[in-house]
Amino acid sequence: MKYIYTSIALLLIVSCQKVQKDNTGDNELSILQKADIPYLKGESRKIFDAKPSEDFDNYQWFTNDHCFVTDHNGQLHWFGINNPYPPEGKELYRYHPYLGHLVSDAAEKNWKRLPFALDESKGTEYLGAPFVIWHEESERWVMVVETLLEGTRRLEVCWSQDLLDWERTNKAILPDKLWISSRDPHIMKGEDGKYWIHIVSTGNEGIKQSQVLRIRTKDFESFEDPETILGINDNNFATLIESPGLLERNGLWYLLFTYAHRRYTETIVVVSDDPNHFDYEKNTLTTLFGHAAKIFSYKGKSYISSCGPEDRHYFSHQSVSIAELGWLKQQ
C-alpha cells in the first residue's frame, strides 16, 4: 500500500510540474501560435447569378466588392458592385453604373433581386464598393460607397430608413487627406464607441505603400484623420491590396485583405493583439481562397464570400459564392 501511495504522489507531482510548464509555455507562445486559423468548410458555391435576368440586356454581367447585412426583421441583404461588362466605347473599372441589391431568408439559397440600391446609368456611370451598417445614434442605415464627385473618385456617405431608398449626401469624406485610390470600405463599431471605417489606400503620412487605413467617426458627418493600421512596402504609386475586413476573436484581431494584384482570389489574414497595428511581415497567419471576401454570420453559422471576377478571361463565374467558415484551434 505504501508503494501505491508513493506512486500516486509522484504522479501528482509530475502532473503539476507539467501543468506549470505548459502554463509557462502558453505565456511564451507567439501571436501566430495563439491564433485560431480560419478555413473554408466544404465547397464555395454560387448563391445567385450576376445578371439581373436573362433578358435584361445582351451583355455578360459580373460582381465585385460587396457586403452583407441583416435587417431588423431577420432578413439578409446583399449590396455590391453588379454591372455588365463595358459595352463598346466604355472602359473596364470605369463603367460601374449599378449597385446591386438582393435579399434572402437563407444565406445559401432563396436570393431575390430587388431594384438597384443606386443607379448611375444616366449619370456618372460610376459606383464603387459599398458597406452598410446600422447607425445606432440616428437609428438609420448608413452606407459608405465610392462615387464620382466632381470628376474624381471619392468616398461618400448615404442614408436610408429601410435599406430600400437611399439618400446621397454628395459630399466627399476627407477629400484633402485621402489619396484618390482610397476605396473598399469596411465598417464596424470600435472599442472606443466610434465607428471605424477601414479602407485601402496609399500616401498616408506621405508614405507611398499599400495601406489599410482607419477613419474614426461618431456621426458620419465629421471624421478624424486617417491612421495607418497596416502598411506593405510593395509599391510607390498606388495601393496593390483591396477589400479589407477586421474582426475580433478570443482576444486577438484578424485583418483580412485581398492581394488582387498578385493573385485575384488571394485573401491574406494577418493577426494581432492590437487592433491599431498589424505586421504583414511577421504575423501573416494564412491565405484564404476568395476575392473581396466578407465574413458574416447568419442564423447561427459563419460564412465567407467571394465574388467576381471583373475580367472576361476568367472562366464562367462572375457572381457571388459563399462557404461556411471554420476556425482551427491550434494544439
Mean confidence (pLDDT) of the chain: 91
Provide the 10 A C-beta neighbour count for residue 179.
18
- Which pLDDT belongs to residue 14? 37
Q: How distant, in Å, are the alpha carbons of 30, 85, 186, 318 from that of 245?
A: 23, 27, 6, 22
Indicate the domain borders of the chain: 37-328
* Grid coordinates given for 125: 456611370
pLDDT recorded at residue 11? 41
Residues in the chain: 331
Best CA proximity match to 210, nearest among 170, 171, 183: 183
Write out pLDDT tens, residues 313-326: 555 568 999 999 99
Share of the chain above pLDDT 90, in %: 82
Q: pLDDT-based confidence at 258, cuts 50/70/90?
A: very high
List phi, psi (to 5°) of 221.
-120, -40
3-state secondary structure of 22: helix
pLDDT tens by residue, 143-159: 999 999 999 999 999 99
* SS3 category, 25: helix
Q: Which three cell numbers mark 139?
A: 437609428
* pLDDT of residue 236 exceeding 90: no
Residue 237 has pLDDT above 90, yes or no: no
- The C-alpha torsion from 297 through 303 and 309 to 310, rounded to 10°, is 10
pLDDT digits (tens, 9 = 90+) for 52-65: 999 999 999 999 99
Classify domain 37-328 at the CATH topology level: Tachylectin-2; Chain A (2.115.10)
**pLDDT tens digit string along 165-216?**
999 999 999 999 999 889 999 999 999 999 999 999 999 999 999 999 999 9
Please state, in angstroms and rounded to a whole number, the distance separating the CA atoms of residues 135 and 80: 19
DSSP-derived secondary structure letter, 309: -
Please report the pLDDT score of residue 24 as a whole number. Answer: 41
Cell numbers representing residue 236 in the block: 510607390
